[in-house]
Structure 1
Amino acid sequence: MSGHRRATRARLLGTVALGAAGYGTLVRPRLLTWGATAAEAARAYPGDELVPGGRPTTMATTLPAPPERVWPWLAQMGCDRGGWYSWDRLDNGGRPSARRIVPEWQELKEGQRLHAVPGGGTWFTVALLEPRRTLVLRMDVELPSGRPFEVRTGPLPGAYLDAVWGFHLSPDPGGGTRLVVRTRGRSRPRLLLRPVDLLFGEPAHFVMQLRQFRNLRARVGTTEE
């Protein structure tokens, strides 16, 4: 290899290393705590204990309606129900998420399955439920098949994802709702899946969660139910 090529390669590697360091120290921490105060990001939430050692993200927003008006929109989430209020082409089979409260979708109980994808091949389980305050969804899937499994009923698969997606509501002094969304996940084999999570999983969650915040804000800000 010529001296010029070695120098070019060294500069390229240096640029990549600098970019990775900048993302890790400046960009990524902001993505993982978007909208949350330092206190909100630091505190523990119901559901954290379900995935011990899992990596957390904490995103938050203020919605222009009290918790009792926000809760019905969360209670009817699911591909087989009201959708996820995010990018419907990506997570709801292209079917538009609900724009009104549907009474038959308001019944929710712990242990209930909510389809994560059209057809119900993968689902979230309602792990914790306190109406108008806490909704924690859990997903446990084998990889790469995406086949669900139960963490509590046997040995873990060789490759898996175990994660919770929690919605935590509290009254805002201005009459709205402070909505904090805490995720916590772990996956194995770590050496293989950690780069995938860093490069795809975390940015994808950031984009989808921001979209959900925006759409929830628009829905709860209307009086149509």
Structure 2
Amino acid sequence: MSTTATPEERRAVLPGDDLVAHADAVMDRAFTIDAAPDRVWPWVQQLGKQRAGWYLPRRLERWLPRGRRAVRHVEDRWQHLRPGDVVPDYGGRHETFTVHAVHPPTTLDYTSQRGGAQVSWAITLAPVPTGPTDDGPERTRLHLRLRVGPLKHPWLVRTGGDAVDRLTIEGMAAGLAERLAGPADG
């Protein structure tokens, strides 16, 4: 599944862009998933370390210890994010994201401080328009934008960080699509 954002998506102004107004690195990823935004939203809202995890497809998760695999169902306890809530992150032992804005089922926006750098992470969901003869499932365009700055070595984040981000989001996109396509199986 391609996670390449379109030129229009990369130019779009997203919630949280103003939190890191002069970002040294901006990473945009986007993909289309066969489910309506209101079906995708609960899965997005529960992402995170010590929460639902980071969705990967079954073929990759089977190599992880059971306790490190992401859930395969929606958990009510993670469906109530509010601005100010803190979500643990995989970026390090004490790294977290703070919820900046929540607008179900379209926008979830986080902020974080990593050393001297500010980070914002916006996740937006938009319905994919259907044509008059389209009788397929409703679809959602999921757009993720990470902004970071100031950075001492922006080139390092733009190259190495971008590669890691691409692989991470591609895994998440495939894992999320798998979960939405099949029955929940804990």
Q: TM-score range by the shorter chain?
A: 0.7 to 0.9
2:11 maps to 1:42 = yes
Deviation for aligned residue 1:120: 5.8
Which residue in the other structure is 2:111 paired with?
138
Residue 84 of structure 2 aligns with an amino acid whose one-letter code is G
Which residue in the other structure is 1:108 paired with?
81
2:87 maps to 1:117 = no
Q: Which runs of no fewer than 5 residues in structure 1 stay unpaired?
A: 1-32, 143-159
2:147 to 184, 203, 206: 184
Listed one character per residue, the Cα deviations across residues 35-69 of structure 1 (whole Å, up to 9, x for unaligned) are: 22221121111110110111322211111110110
1:95 to 41, 61, 68: 68
Q: Quote the Cα distance in structure 2 between the aligned partners of 1:60 and 1:48.
A: 16
2:20 to 51, 61, 65: 51
Q: Which moved more, 1:33-42 or 1:214-223?
A: 33-42
Q: Which runs of no fewer than 5 residues in structure 2 stay unpaired?
A: 131-137
TM, length-normalised to structure 2: 0.82
Do the aligned residues in 2 keep the contact of 1:83 with 1:98 (CA within 8 Å)? Answer: yes
**C-alpha spacing 1:141/1:81, structure 2 compared with 1 (3 Å):** same
TM, length-normalised to structure 1: 0.68
1:74 to 22, 33, 44: 44
* Structure showing greater Rg: 1
Aligned residues: 171
Alignment RMSD, CA only?
2.6
Identity of aligned residues (%): 29
Do the aligned residues in 2 keep the contact of 1:88 with 1:94 (CA within 8 Å)? Answer: no
Q: Quote the Cα distance in structure 2 between the aligned partners of 1:117 and 1:181.
A: 17
